[in-house]
Amino acid sequence: MQKELTIEQLYDLDHTAAAPLLRRFTYPWEALPAIKAFILEMGPTLPAGEYELRGEDVWVAKSAHIYPNVYLAGPCIIGPNTEVRPGAFVRGSALVGADCVVGNSTELKNVILFDHVQVPHYNYVGDSILGYCAHMGAGSITSNVKADKKLVVVHAEEPIETGLKKFGAILGDHVEVGCNAVLNPGTVVGRHATIYPTSCVRGFVPACSIFKAPGNLVKKV
C-alpha cells in the first residue's frame, strides 16, 4: 500500500456526503465504479424538507441555486447552497456537495465533489473525485481516457494498476489547479498542492508541493 495515495491521507471525510461510500475503500479511485449505485441508494433517503426531486433520480437541495439553461441528468445530487450556473451540463452519476460552484459551460460525469469545491468556468470533470475546498481554474480539465484506450495506471513511487479504463483525477483537500491545466488519466494530487496554469500533469503530485512542469516540482514553504 502506498499511504500517500490513500483516502485517509487525501481527505477529511467530514466534508462530504459520500463518506459512507469512500470508507469502503483504500484508494479513492476504487470508489469510481460505485458512485452511480451509491447515489441511487442515497437519493430516496434525503430529507424531503431539504431536497426536492427535479426529474428522474435528480435530487436538488432546496437552498441550491440552479440557474436557467442548466442540464441535470440522473442520478445526481446537488447539495445545499450550491450554485449551478448557466450552461452547466451534469451528465449523471454526480454527487455535488454543499456550497459548491458548478460554473458556466462546466461538464460533470461520474464524480464526487466534496463541500466547497469550485469548478466555475469551462471545466470538464469526469470519473474524478475533488476534495474539500479544491478549486479548478478556468479551462482546466480532467482527461479521463488514455489515447491508446488502455487501462489507467497511477504512476507514483511504484506504478499501481487500477483496472479502470475511465479514470480522470483525484484531487486532495485544498488543491488549487491553475487555468488551462490538463490533468491526465490517473493523476493524483495531494492535499494543499498547487498546479501551475497551462501545466500538463501525469502521475502523483505530493501534498504541499507546487507542480510547475514535468520534472519541476518544489515544496511549499
pLDDT tens track for 77-111: 999 999 999 999 999 999 999 999 999 999 999 99
Catalytic residue (one of 121, 135, 155, 174):
121
pLDDT tens track for 7-34: 999 999 999 999 999 999 999 999 999 9
Q: Where are the domains of the chain?
A: 3-219
If DSSP codes are grouped into helix, strand and coil, which group holds residue 122? coil
Q: Which pLDDT belongs to residue 166? A: 98
d(C-alpha 76, C-alpha 43), whole Å: 8
Which of the 8 DSSP states describes residue 43? G
Residue whose cell numbers read 436538488 = 60
Which superfamily does CATH assign the domain made up of 3-219 to?
Hexapeptide repeat proteins (2.160.10.10)
Q: DSSP letter string over 154-194?
A: E-SSS-EE---SB--EEE-TT-EE-TT-EE-TTEEE-TT-E
pLDDT tens track for 110-165: 999 999 999 999 999 999 999 999 999 999 999 999 999 999 999 998 999 999 99
d(C-alpha 163, C-alpha 160), whole Å: 9
Which of the 8 DSSP states describes residue 145? B
Q: Using alpha carbons only, how large is the chain's radius of gyration in Å?
A: 16
d(C-alpha 10, C-alpha 159), whole Å: 18
pLDDT tens track for 181-221: 999 999 999 999 999 999 999 999 999 999 999 989 999 97
Q: Which pLDDT belongs to residue 221? A: 77
192 is catalytic: no
**pTM confidence score:** 0.97
Confidence at 1, pLDDT banded by 50, 70, 90: confident
If DSSP codes are grouped into helix, strand and coil, which group holds residue 82? coil
